[in-house]
Chains A and B, each alone.
Chain A
Amino acid sequence: MSRALYRLSAPLAALGRSALGLLAAIGRVTLYAFEALSHIFRPPFYPREFAAALLNVGWLSLPVVGLTALFTGGALALQIHAGGERFSAEAVVPQIVAIGIVRELGPVLVGLMIAARVTSSIAAEIATMRVTEQIDALVTLSTHPMKYLTAPRLLAGLLVVPALVAVGDVIGIYGGFLVSTGSLGFAPGSYIQNTWDFLTRADIASSLAKGAAFGFIATLMGCYHGMQSGRGAQGVGRATKASVEAAAVLILAANFLLTNIFFAA
């Protein structure tokens, strides 16, 4: 009787353990995020670390962000034109490309590219520092790892990813413009005018706000998982993988939430 009861309850117990584990992880990440944010505003500050993070998160991500946006904008224009043809709505290509890129694809794709490029590199770097005792060395040299490693990266993510999203939006729209004017027969002047007339300030603000949120998530996940790394090469690998997975899922979830906040009437 008791064995049968045990068999029945085992899956429920496993489910309960997973749920508790998930809640504990959310709690740990939240506390880590609040502590990291508080260090952004409290001295000492490390301007060189911040400048290096700006360079890594922002400037060095430009090529991958630009190419992603360019190809996506072009493909989007082709899709809208092909789909619009079915009910004689080809003329809306500039408007739909603009709204699609600025509201959704620009921020989301930039966020995912940052998760792939920056989150992974932050996690691997900090995890390696953890494994090779460089984090302990920082502490013995009277330097708070949260201030020196996490705060500059978080601040860079918050500030520079919106700028990357803006660049991505412009290049994405330009990709649509190139395809539309080059092979779909649109006139350049009217394409630009239609795009400009259709976009609102709220579209642009939502795009930049999403960029800030995604930049925060991407850098936070890199730092958090790097700091939590286990031992050895396997520990570094696991931390890197977990950071990218968590960043990508959280970015998509945050995108849904923010879209709801901005556009659900």
Chain B
Amino acid sequence: MIELIGVHKGFGAKQVLRGVDLSIARGESMVVIGGSGTGKSVLLKCILGLLEPDAGRILLDGQDVREAERDAFLARFGMLFQGGALFDSLPVWQNVAFRLLRGRLKRPRAEAREIAVEKLRRVGLGPEVADLLPAELSGGMQKRVGLARAIAAEPEIIFFDEPTTGLDPIMAGVINELIREIVTEMGATAMTITHDMSSVRAIADKVAMLHAGKIRWSGPVAQMDASGDPYLDQFIHGRAEGPIETLR
């Protein structure tokens, strides 16, 4: 469904992606892991068209994403941002129903609110939250609202950018379970980027490790522990010693 072929991206003299090849099948949950600053978010933004790759191709159902009609392309995606990226000036329900209040998916206001409340319920938040402003919510609640917004228009593909960053382990576990449940029940294709190994084990069907601007290893999550790749081993076990250079 999503295929990346030789994707390169740099910022000035710094080359972040150096030829990424990756494919994600329809309905699959792919988790991309890698250390901080290895270009995971850049990869995700390149797929969405928020950043333009310097070289390489990104295909969605065989079509180059640069040739796709932008609105129709984006309508297929939902995204949960690392910090939630909720709009401060809008109440929670309008954040969730943002896509349903404008553009090609526009619905009547009352119906959009009804859908927003239902999506909030799906992520474990009651209707009393609907009229609050994002600043009135805890970090965990903001993540849930972000998740509700990502699934509000029932997209085919959902991206999760560091879904558990900044959450306590219990809340992280709750969010991981929610993501897994929602992706399974919607039959959506999911791509998650994280360096949280509990997220990887909870969410992934397949795992890809990004290192030095390339996919170092990819395969089913069940094979991750026995990969035999020293880079992957060091990363998943969180060892300071190993081939991946660390700053001390």
- A-side interface residues toward B, CB under 8 Å? 44, 46, 52, 128-129, 132-134, 136-137, 139-143
Q: Is the CB of A142 within 8 A of B81?
A: no
Chain A to chain B: the 8 pairs with minimum beta-carbon distance, closest first:
A137-B85, A133-B85, A142-B74, A140-B79, A133-B81, A134-B85, A141-B99, A142-B103
Which residues on the B side are within 8 Å of A129 (C-beta)?
Answer: 87-88
Residues of B within 8 A of A137 (CB): 79, 81, 85-87
Give the interface of B toward A (CB within 8 A).
45, 48-50, 70-71, 74-75, 77-79, 81-83, 85-89, 98-99, 102-105, 149
Across the interface, do B71 and A142 meet the contact criterion of CB distance under 8 Å? Answer: yes
B102 interface neighbour in A46, A132, A140, Cβ under 8 Å: A46
Residues of A within 8 A of B87 (CB): 129, 134, 137
Q: Tell me how many residue pairs across A and B have CB atoms closer than 8 Å.
A: 51
Contact A136 B98 (CB under 8 A): no
A36 to B87, CA, bound (A): 21
Are B45 and A136 in contact (CB-based, < 8 A)?
yes
A139 to B102, CA, bound (A): 13
Q: Once the chains are docked, how many angstroms separate the CA of A143 from the CA of B49?
A: 13
Most-contacted residue by chain B among A44, A128, A139, A141 (CB, 10 A): A141
Bound complex: CA of A143 vs CA of B83, how far in Å?
19
What residue of chain B has the Cβ atom nearest to residue A45's Cβ? Answer: B102
B102 and A136 contacting across the interface, CB-CB below 8 Å: no
Interchain CA distance A42-B102 in the complex, whole Å: 15
- Chain A residues, CB < 8 A from B78: 140
Residues of B within 8 A of A132 (CB): 83, 85
Write the nearest CB–CB distance from A145 to chain B, whole angstroms: 11
Complex CA gap A11/B81 in Å reads: 46
Q: How many Å from the CB of B154 to the closest CB on chain A?
A: 14
Asked if A143 and B103 make an inter-chain contact with CB atoms under 8 angstroms apart, the answer reads yes
Measured CB to CB, the closest approach of chain B to A127, in angstroms, equals 13
